[in-house]
Structure 1
Amino acid sequence: MEYQWLSIRFALLLLLFLKITSFDDLRSPVESPPAFDPQPDLPLLAPSPLMPYTNVGMPILTGKCPLNFSDGETVLTTTAIDCWGPLAPYLANAVCCPQLDATIKILLGQSSFSSGTLAINENHAEHCLSDIAQILEAEGSNSQLLKICSIHSSDVAQASCPVVDVNEIENIINIPTIIESCEKIDPVKECHHKVCQSAITEAAVKIASRNISGSNMVRDSISLARESVIDDCKKIVLRWLASKLDPTYASKVLRGISSCKINQVCPLVFPETKNVTKECGNRISNQTACCGEIKNYVTQLQDQSFITNLQAFNCAYSLAANLQKDNVSTNVYDICRVKLKDFSLQVGSQDSGCLFPSLPLDVTYDEISGIGFKCDLNDNVAAPWPSLNGYSAAPSVLPALPKAASDQSGLRSTLLVSSLLVINLFI
């Protein structure tokens, strides 16, 4: 009962914490814009937890999973913190689910040393997923983690890839090329040049083309079925790669690769825009009413998730393109002063939208400050409005990481002070 009460208290705190934000940037155009703040980006800490993230309980394992979980203790703990309790749904896109996916691949890669295979038998797949969820939940992760991250048996099983035997795979792929391409990747350069990703894809194509099942695979045909097989084989190659690296470093490599894909899309769900198009469509007759509808609309997006700065760029661009299709030709982002940070979850008062960096960043935990994370408090980059040719390049000012690389003593933030005041009201 005490655990449930503490969970409810934290959930209520989180809701209040999220609703404190004001939307001062989306104001009438007659008001003066906010002054530029030259201060460096400060780390933002989530509210201190009202219960510890560890030692929540003992995991109840099925005893039917062949994985050796001691091989991945470090990455399992990292995952539990990244996917901590009530925050997991809000951290899913930028932090939690990419780390969970990397951890599963690492566990499978490490287990291949004794099993000789990079996949779990279908009969044991669900048992292994259950055990992983139980271990993470015992360390404080969300109890619905597999559902939140859409993890299925295919994520630990062979799926459609025809080869999962380690020796057979190593006879097919070019081991030196993969190791050289992926052992020391630069996450920023990797997303542009795709050195490691190309090596992974090349290996996956070779494996997918091994016709061991007797079915006909047309090598020259880029069919949906063949692409699905290649995608499944990419997972197998990544599990193999994870077995060749230290688990902690393997997590960084796998998340560095996944961040390239994550940052290319907008993870938000766009509600109906009819109220916005009504007030902002064609020639805007009432800018105050238009900006009011923009404010209401973006507020709905803010309730969904923390996102990265590049995801925010894609979200803003996609929404603008949809509005243009509905005859909103005027740049309402400019008129209503919409920033990239307005598309992510708001975590404080006034000018404090929280955008995560485009490079992977973990949630942190210590006994004093509790669960915390960093984001860019001063990211006042304007939301992009597509030009007439339908293109708007991502601004080069978007940081890959927060300028403040670590918590700095002596720095004070009214946001952090406000957070502590809210917490004190509940304790």
Structure 2
Amino acid sequence: MGGHELLHPTSSPFAALLLFLCLLEFCCKVDDVIVHGFPLHQIDSGLIEEKSILVPDTSLISTPQPFIPLLAPSPMTPFFSNSTPKLSGRCTLNFSAVDSLISTTAVDCLSSFAPLLANVICCPQFQAMLVILIGQSSKNTGMLALDSTQANYCLLDYQQILESRGASGNLEQICSIHPLNLTEGSCPVNDISEFESAIDSSKLLLACERVDAVNECCSQICQNAIREAATKIALRDGGLTSMDISNNLPEHYSRIDGCRSIVLRWLSSRLDPLSAKHVLRRISNCNVNEACPLVFPDTTKVTEYCGNRIKNNTACCSAMDNYVSHLQKQSFITNLQALDCASLLGLKLQKMNVTTNIYSFCQITLKDFSLQVGSQESGCLLPSLPSDAMFDPSSGISFTCDLNDNIAAPWPSASGAPTSFCNKSVNLPELPAATSAHIAENEKDMKLPLLIALLVVLQMLS
């Protein structure tokens, strides 16, 4: 399965319910879903998968891409709000200068799906846009931060603009963004002239103007340059000392982190908005992919039926399936996050005396760790390379799923050592390429994902 096109409902609960009923009737009358090919990376078509150890280097460009099922007839779209935002009139940021990127952000954070795409798509884009807005504004103001009053008004205006285009009205909460994130924080430098006098700006720009989407997370060429620049300005004007930095105290880390925001805004001021977006998203995705975002419930039932020597195969796998079903209700995750999650859960179970590889024993796949959609209850793993949701006037909202086959979840080694994706000797499961067989299977078996429609309705009525 390649991806799923998701619909954005109207604001009326009655209309949302009507939408679900229409989809229900449509599903009952239509046996097959239209399936079409879709480029894996539409925005950066020349890029390959960020974690090259997961994707065969020679096959990605030449093989067919994953497939996306068309989930709704075109007359039912679009569902975007066209309301006029109520702005404060007291924010100096030039929103119109990055209008197209703001529209991209609104699509990435559409109201019904923002919580489900928050970790991978919505919040990284939402935060990148704030950096770009301040960076572009600094060309006129000379300042790389807003004061606290401006920060309050600008964040409110930004939220209002996005909401007027269909985005969630709770993005500040969903993405944990506060007005303080728009200020200099505890960084002692926020003036462009002072910033450029403190660091080697040409070296920083050279390291970050073209971030390698495949290798940056392991080579950290741009990230090291950002860290070096942030440390240098943190040492300015009565800031930190070298000894303070070596102590790794929380308040010292906070200052360097604030200075890191200043560095990112400066970079955004030296790049065009689209290039700045690519740089920021590729850097942030290194953090996104290095940790599992799921919350693991209590494993007592699994360990009871699967611990030590398994006495009842059916009871063990039933307990495991029930446990995994709780993970499948949380959010969409990337393929690399799924590997992290599989490793963490496996280690957790091993500590509880589950010695059998129950992933293999109970046929648990990587897709089982992500949100399930469709009548076939098939999981969607998003690509580890930064991606956006997409809007097409004729077919609605879609996003790309990276896996189109069931890949067995790897059971952790007995040593318990964490998997390093930068260790080229580590053998990880390869992602399958889409084939003509997948086309036939999708055209024959895939139905409308009524679970998504029902989810929309429940959210609208709650």
8 Å contact from structure 1 (residues 362, 373) kept in 2: yes
Separation in structure 1 between the aligned mates of residue 444 and residue 144 of structure 2, nearest angstrom:
47
Q: SS state of the match for residue 373, structure 1? A: strand
Partner of 1:224: 250
Separation in structure 2 between the aligned mates of residue 415 and residue 253 of structure 1, nearest angstrom:
40
Partner of 2:48: none
Partner of 1:419: 448
Partner of 2:275: 249
Mapping for residues 231-380 of structure 1, pairs under 5 Å? 231-350=257-376, 352-380=378-406
Deviates more, 1:386-395 or 1:256-265: 386-395
Distance 1:97 1:391, change over 3 A: same
Partner of 1:129: 155
* Cα deviation, residue 424, structure 1: 10
8 Å contact from structure 2 (residues 307, 352) kept in 1: yes
1:385-418 Cα deviation digits (max 9, x unpaired):
111111364554555xx967xxxxx988348951
* Cα deviation, residue 219, structure 1: 4.7
Distance 1:379 1:257, change over 3 A: farther
Q: SS state of the match for residue 214, structure 2? A: helix
Distance 1:363 1:321, change over 3 A: same
2:11 maps to 1:3: yes
8 Å contact from structure 1 (residues 46, 371) kept in 2: no
Q: Which amino acid aligns with 2:442?
A: S
8 Å contact from structure 1 (residues 6, 51) kept in 2: no
* Cα deviation, residue 11, structure 1: 9.1
Mapping for residues 30-41 of structure 1, pairs under 5 Å? none
8 Å contact from structure 2 (residues 235, 241) kept in 1: no
Q: Gapped runs of 5+ residues in structure 1?
A: 17-38, 405-409
Structure 2 length as normaliser, TM-score?
0.79
Identity %: 47
Partner of 2:219: 193
8 Å contact from structure 1 (residues 53, 81) kept in 2: no
1:124-168 Cα deviation digits (max 9, x unpaired):
212111111110011111111111111111221111111111111
* Cα deviation, residue 380, structure 1: 2.3
Q: Which amino acid aligns with 1:9?
A: L
* Cα deviation, residue 353, structure 1: 1.4
Separation in structure 1 between the aligned mates of residue 121 and residue 18 of structure 2, nearest angstrom:
20
Separation in structure 2 between the aligned mates of residue 67 and residue 307 of structure 1, nearest angstrom:
33
Q: SS state of the match for residue 202, structure 2? A: helix
8 Å contact from structure 1 (residues 40, 378) kept in 2: no
Q: Which amino acid aligns with 1:312?
A: A
Q: Which amino acid aligns with 1:413?
A: N
Distance 1:224 1:259, change over 3 A: same
Match of 2:408 among 364, 382, 401: 382
Separation in structure 2 between the aligned mates of residue 310 and residue 349 of structure 1, nearest angstrom:
25
8 Å contact from structure 2 (residues 234, 240) kept in 1: no
Distance 1:143 1:220, change over 3 A: closer
Distance 1:9 1:235, change over 3 A: farther
Separation in structure 1 between the aligned mates of residue 91 and residue 429 of structure 2, nearest angstrom:
47
8 Å contact from structure 1 (residues 268, 304) kept in 2: yes
8 Å contact from structure 2 (residues 128, 277) kept in 1: yes
Partner of 2:43: none
Distance 1:234 1:75, change over 3 A: same
1:280-308 Cα deviation digits (max 9, x unpaired):
11211111111111111111111110000
Distance 1:403 1:230, change over 3 A: farther
Q: Which amino acid aligns with 1:342?
A: D
8 Å contact from structure 2 (residues 374, 449) kept in 1: no
2:204 maps to 1:178: yes
* Cα deviation, residue 9, structure 1: 3.2
Aligned length: 397
* Cα deviation, residue 378, structure 1: 2.1
Separation in structure 1 between the aligned mates of residue 379 and residue 239 of structure 2, nearest angstrom:
52
Match of 1:42 among 66, 70, 74: 66
Q: SS state of the match for residue 371, structure 1? A: strand
Q: Which amino acid aligns with 2:375?
A: S
8 Å contact from structure 2 (residues 375, 446) kept in 1: no
1:203-261 Cα deviation digits (max 9, x unpaired):
00001111346999835433221111111111110111011111112111100001111
Separation in structure 2 between the aligned mates of residue 73 and residue 229 of structure 1, nearest angstrom:
32
8 Å contact from structure 1 (residues 117, 166) kept in 2: yes
8 Å contact from structure 1 (residues 161, 207) kept in 2: yes
Separation in structure 1 between the aligned mates of residue 255 and residue 451 of structure 2, nearest angstrom:
51
Q: Which amino acid aligns with 2:447?
A: S
* Cα deviation, residue 335, structure 1: 0.2
Distance 1:193 1:123, change over 3 A: same
Q: Gapped runs of 5+ residues in structure 2?
A: 1-8, 25-62, 422-426, 458-462
Partner of 1:30: none
1:87-120 Cα deviation digits (max 9, x unpaired):
1111111111111111110001001011111111
8 Å contact from structure 1 (residues 348, 415) kept in 2: no
* Cα deviation, residue 352, structure 1: 2.7
8 Å contact from structure 2 (residues 117, 331) kept in 1: yes
Mapping for residues 134-213 of structure 1, pairs under 5 Å? 134-212=160-238
Q: Which amino acid aligns with 1:148?
A: I
1:53-110 Cα deviation digits (max 9, x unpaired):
5443111111222211112212111100011120111111111111111111000100
2:109 maps to 1:83: yes
Distance 1:397 1:384, change over 3 A: closer
Q: SS state of the match for residue 139, structure 2? A: helix
